[in-house]
Amino acid sequence: MKIGILDIGTNKISCFIVNIAKDKEPVILGIGLHQSDGISSGTIVDMELACNSIRSSIQSAEKMFGNTVEEFVVNFSSDTIKSHTINLNISLDNNEVTHEDIKKIYKKIDDSNYGENRQLLHKIRISYSIDRNIGIEKPIGMKGNKLIAGFNLITADKNVINNFIKCLSISKVRISDIVATPYASGLGCLNNDDLYIGTTVIDIGAGCSSIATFYKNKLVYAGIINIGGFHISSDIARGLSTSISAAERLKILHGSNVNSNEENDLIDIPLTSDHESNETHKIHKKELNNIVLSRIQEILENIRSKTNKSILERNLTSNIVLTGKSSELKGFNNLTSDFFGIKVRIGKPINIKGLAENTSGPGFSVCCGLIKYKILKEEGFLQVDSPLENTFLWRKFGSWVRESFF
């Protein structure tokens, strides 16, 4: 099966064309990268520009592949993405749980009101319990008086999703699956232990940062804040009177957790100008570093505020994995670890055959997560359209998937 993978971000649009075959390692056949225009923090702000960017990325990948693809798995980013934890129950009257009982539970979700103008993206079953017996994974055949199922419902603003789908339709993109960006990021860079023990993935993108927490192999929380790496670059440009492109280079080269021996070192800052100019002015590294640290602090504070009651206060996170292009900023992982008081590491995407060196860094975790999502769905681990299960089904699988993903 040849499938297209689309990661639509604020700074770039990445398209992978992948061959997926049962029990075999997926192979990337084409890669297309294009600057993202008409998109801000994951939201379509200019339909025409966004469509052109999407088409250009797909055309580059198809040119490398030498053919076209029919369907695409696409990520969706928006700060309107929210997690809703709900518990639903049905009476058993001391009878055994049947498949019909499970269907009734899922039917209740379909009949639920997700909130005004909200659209369901994912319904993920977190737990089952029968009477006072909790932590049940497979309740079929068990007796009791009441079956309770806990779900994590991922929803987003309906109009934002509809505009996103319309843009893809105009771009002639046939959608196979839409996956919330936090979900894809986690699938793309976490291993089996991470998924089970409780891990929060923070993907620092250009225009927004996504947060996903996995616990006991389930996605228990997902959210997005509209602050990312571009905001750091923008702060540098404004604060030091330089261009955005120069600010981006300064951020990568010098913006870091500078030690005391370096903070008084001088660096050259290109001045903004209406014409090409080599004119610069000098500043101490500490001045640049203070700008970077101030925005990083804001990003981390917003993440803590958004996740505190849902995740941190419930002790569902044992470690944090940073991913996304801006996670490579020097010292970001140490700052995050100090801020949350939790072990932090940089997460890179799972290894996939055909993945070029320039597309194997943290900035491509979402693409690899979308590939993993499609494989899990096709092989029955994720049955998103089935009322019987909409979560991970941990059964025996092909050797490559077992070794690479779990």
Report d(CA 180, CA 156) in Å as an integer: 9
pLDDT of 215 higher than 50: yes
Q: What is the pLDDT of residue 152?
A: 94
Query: pLDDT band for position 392 (50/70/90)?
Result: very low
List the structure tokens of 261: 């021996």
| CATH number for the domain formed by residue range(s) 82-156 | 3.30.1490.110
> Which residues touch 244 (CB under 8 Å, ≥6 apart)?
233, 234, 237
Report d(CA 62, CA 392) in Å as an integer: 32
Query: pLDDT band for position 385 (50/70/90)?
Result: very low
DSSP state of 313: G
CB neighbours (10 Å) of residue 321? 28
Q: What is the mean pLDDT of residues 43-54?
A: 95
Please name the residue ranges forming H helices in 200-281: 229-240, 244-253
pLDDT of 400 higher than 60: no
Q: What is the mean pLDDT of residues 138-157?
A: 94
Q: What is the pLDDT of residue 374?
A: 93
Query: pLDDT band for position 49 (50/70/90)?
Result: very high
Of 194, 200, 189, 183, give the one whose Cα is nearest residue 216.
194
The ranges assigned to domains in the chain are 82-156
pLDDT of 402 higher than 50: no
Higher pLDDT, 58 or 43: 58
Element (H, E) at 287: helix 285-307
Instruction: List, for residues 292-306, the tens digit of each pLDDT value.
Output: 999 999 999 999 998
Name the residue with tokens 């995050």: 336
Contact 183, 139 (CB under 8 A): no
Distances, alpha carbon 238 to alpha carbons 291, 299, 346, in Å:
10, 18, 29
Query: pLDDT band for position 316 (50/70/90)?
Result: confident
Higher pLDDT, 258 or 285: 285
Question: Percentage of the chain with pLDDT > 70?
Answer: 90
